[in-house]
Structure 1
Amino acid sequence: MNPATEQEELQFPTSLGTSTATEIRLLGQDLATDLMGKVSFGELAFWLVAMRRPTASELRVFESVLVALADHGFTPTAIAARLTYLSAPDSLQGAMAAGLLGGGSRFLGVTEDCGQFLAATLGAHEGPTPETDVEYDEIALAAITAQRATGKFVPGLGHPNHKDGDPRTPALIGIAEEEGLRGPHLRLFEAIGRMSENALGRRLPLNGAGVCGAALADLGLPTDLLRGFALLARAAGLLGQIAEERRNPIGMDVYMSVDRNAVYVDPQSPTAPEER
């Protein structure tokens, strides 16, 4: 085959971005004239995944989620980013990546885990979509009981700091309600909060990462991609953490406080910590 002909036939289809010597197109739009200065970053992020522009109401809920997940203090992800920057200040990308890599089942990943748990619970429900709180409570109680029977935690329940309630939870539910987007995932999530004491013997707060997963699921976004939105939000927070580390560093203090207080323990000693 003629190399020129082969090159002409070679195609890699995409609905996202393409460029020529004179133009950049994204989502079928001219990037420079149709999108820049006219579309917010949050709207673009939604559009890139959903392949449709969000409504004004959807955008408000979506961007509220991004704000809720951007930063939450000196979490392990923030500390990882700061300590990596301390070790390799020439690698900003390494510090950012270190923080993002820590997004898992305990931090950030709860957003996706909760969205998937709620979606699976609703998908397994036989009959029409519940309408009353009583119906949601019955489904929630059964879901919590079944989840705990497997020895697993219910994603979205509990928080290490906000023992009496995560302030992000009612705020996001309120915004969704105002925009007419308090759908079945959020309503089931609320029911899980109401039924936690009945099922577990103690009331646990609904955490912010979980309510974000419920809200994103109600927006129709793929539940197996929800962790990506949490990481997108946290990227902004991590950049802020690194910027603050440059202005007012604490990384060396964190490192020294741990290193200088390390105590050797004989693994054969009866007082040695048990292996986990």
Structure 2
Amino acid sequence: MSRPTDTPPDRDQAAAWWRTGIIDMAPDRIRFRGCPVQQLIGRVSFVDMIWFLVVGVMPSPRQARLAEAALVAGVDHGPQAPSIAIARMAMTCGGSLNNALASAVNVLDDVHGGAGEQAMMLFQDIRSRLVDGDDLARATEAGLAHWRRRYGPIIPGFGHRFHRTDPRAPRLMALVAEVAETGEITGQVAAIAGEIERQLAAAKGRRIPMNIDGATAVIFSELGLPPPLGRGLFCLSRSVGILAHAWEQQQQGGRNKGPLPKGWLWQYDGEPPRDCPPV
């Protein structure tokens, strides 16, 4: 007895399997959001193209400048960063550049790489409280209390374990202020971030300055992006440093380099020496 088979899909069904408004591609034709690729090549920057594909419209020159500044600021933070260390270790294990990139990007998660998205979530919550009628101080206080209740005491985007003042953040915030003066962004999120910094300092008795995650979160929020794209764009930015370190490690050579130098051993805190299996 033969098994019944489904009716083979027709061409329209096959074409509708994936739906996208990003690219229209057929033999001898490539269009991004309706624009022929040959009209974009040499006329728009890489940052323009990122924005165009992800957001759906071309950025204004000031929007592109802010987005580019955020991407430039986040490219690298040295081999002590887990993502960079993993990329270099992957190369010493015989990996390829694409393997190193993939391995490194995969660890840009909630703890290492997620603070920008989390800061955007915090800023968004406080901004919603302003819409409901709170003033900036009350909205910020309520937003911080809500964050701590839900996520714990760490406030994303502020403080840094290496830098007393993250050198990237003031420059980014200065650029935000310049664009806000033109009226192209509101500057409201920058004000929220400044109020968070003020309240953290009052609570701690010392300044807890904004870091790069907070500053880039301000930029992406001012530009109207949702929080998940904050992490996605950070992954694009950090991929530049990952690639550079992986390539450098390949040129330097080295085999099977782990997280500790040769001769350094980890702390063992298990069972003391014993006969096994127990007699």
Q: Same fold (TM over 0.5)?
A: yes
Deviations 1:221-265, CA, capped at 9 Å, x for gaps: 1222210000011111111111221233577666561x5211563
In 1, the alpha carbon distance for the partners of 2:255 and 2:129 equals: 47
Amino acid at match of 1:175: L
TM-score, with length taken from structure 2:
0.83
In 1, the alpha carbon distance for the partners of 2:77 and 2:158 equals: 17
Structure with the higher helix share, 1 or 2: 1
1:76 corresponds to 2:79: no
Counterparts in 2 of 1:242 and 1:7: CA distance versus 1, 3 Å: same
Q: Greater shift after overlay, 13-22 or 44-53? A: 13-22
| Matched length | 259
Secondary structure of the equivalent of 1:202? coil
Deviations 1:5-43, CA, capped at 9 Å, x for gaps: 9214543332111222111111111112x1111111111
In 1, the alpha carbon distance for the partners of 2:13 and 2:52 equals: 29
What's the RMSD between the two structures over aligned residues? 2.5
Amino acid at match of 2:153: K
Deviations 1:182-218, CA, capped at 9 Å, x for gaps: 6222221121112212133432121101210121011
1:239 corresponds to 2:240: no
In 1, the alpha carbon distance for the partners of 2:190 and 2:255 equals: 38
Counterparts in 2 of 1:7 and 1:218: CA distance versus 1, 3 Å: same
Q: Which residue of 1 aligns with 2:277?
A: none
Deviations 1:83-129, CA, capped at 9 Å, x for gaps: 0111123x22111111111212333211111111110221234535x
1:51 corresponds to 2:61: no
Q: Matches of residues 67-146 of structure 1 in structure 2 within 5 Å?
A: 67-74=72-79, 75-89=81-95, 91-127=96-132, 135-146=135-146
Counterparts in 2 of 1:39 and 1:226: CA distance versus 1, 3 Å: same
Is the 1:162–1:205 contact (alpha carbons within 8 Å) kept by the matching residues of 2?
no
In 2, the alpha carbon distance for the partners of 1:264 and 1:72 equals: 27
Counterparts in 2 of 1:178 and 1:264: CA distance versus 1, 3 Å: closer
In 2, the alpha carbon distance for the partners of 1:264 and 1:189 equals: 41
Q: Which residue of 1 aligns with 2:275?
A: none
In 1, the alpha carbon distance for the partners of 2:168 and 2:186 equals: 15
In 1, the alpha carbon distance for the partners of 2:155 and 2:260 equals: 37
Runs of 4+ in 1 over 4 A off after TM superposition: 249-256
Secondary structure of the equivalent of 1:159? coil
Q: Which residue of 2 aligns with 1:267?
A: 270
Secondary structure of the equivalent of 1:114? helix
Secondary structure of the equivalent of 2:31? strand
Q: Greater shift after overlay, 205-214 or 103-112? A: 103-112
| CA positional deviation for 1:153 | 1.0
Counterparts in 2 of 1:23 and 1:187: CA distance versus 1, 3 Å: same
Deviations 1:53-73, CA, capped at 9 Å, x for gaps: 111110000000000111122
Amino acid at match of 1:65: A
Amino acid at match of 1:127: D
Secondary structure of the equivalent of 2:209? coil
Q: Which residue of 1 aligns with 2:158?
A: 157
In structure 2, runs of 5+ residues without a counterpart are 1-5, 273-279
Is the 1:70–1:237 contact (alpha carbons within 8 Å) kept by the matching residues of 2?
yes
Counterparts in 2 of 1:264 and 1:57: CA distance versus 1, 3 Å: closer
Could you tell me which of 188, 206, 213 is aligned with 1:209?
213
